[in-house]
């Protein structure tokens, strides 16, 4: 019997101003270290987490966008973005720091239904 479960981490919050984005990334890396099937979805203001070129000097917080580079080392390659969220915020995949798969909100909903564990940040 396999102990591997499908985990999806749903990121809806802006990258700074709360701890949600940073905590999500830490939990993703922990789950992946335990060899779970990990994916990430970015919706709403969560798409800003993936935007290239975070400038955080003015808010005196360390930018964590470079930490996303560690995802591939942990075999986290299933990174999904909501098309509507990108469009509403004037972003395209060229604005993002990582390669992603773009899905409609309905398609993302179907992916979420297929998960064993769904955690929202």
Asked if 102 contacts 86 with a C-beta cutoff of 8 angstroms, the reply is yes
Distance, CA of 78 to CA of 17 (rounded, Å): 26
Asked if 49 contacts 31 with a C-beta cutoff of 8 angstroms, the reply is no
- What is the three-class DSSP state of 39? strand
What Rg, from alpha-carbon coordinates, does the chain have?
Answer: 14
Tell me if 86 is assigned to some domain. Answer: yes
pLDDT for 6-62, tens place per residue?
A: 999 999 999 888 889 989 999 999 999 999 999 999 999 999 999 987 776 766 666
Distance, CA of 36 to CA of 46 (rounded, Å): 23
Tell me the whole-structure pTM to 2 decimals. Answer: 0.91
Tell me if 1 is assigned to some domain. Answer: no
- Counting the structural domains of the chain, the total is 1
Q: What is the pLDDT at residue 63?
A: 67
Tell me if 113 is assigned to some domain. Answer: yes
Q: Residue 54: which domain range?
A: 6-120
């Amino acid at each position: 019997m396999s102990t591997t479960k499908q985990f999806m981490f749903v990121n809806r919050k802006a990258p700074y101003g709360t701890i949600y984005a940073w905590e999500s990334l830490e939990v993703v890396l922990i789950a992946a270290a335990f060899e779970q099937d990990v994916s990430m979805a970015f919706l709403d203001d969560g798409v800003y987490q993936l935007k290239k070129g975070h400038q955080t000097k003015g808010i005196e917080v360390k930018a964590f966008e470079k930490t996303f580079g560690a995802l591939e080392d942990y075999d986290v390659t299933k990174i999904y973005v909501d098309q509507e969220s990108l469009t509403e915020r004037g972003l395209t995949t060229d604005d993002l720091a990582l390669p992603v798969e773009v899905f409609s909100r309905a398609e993302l909903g179907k992916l979420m239904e297929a998960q064993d564990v769904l955690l929202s940040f």
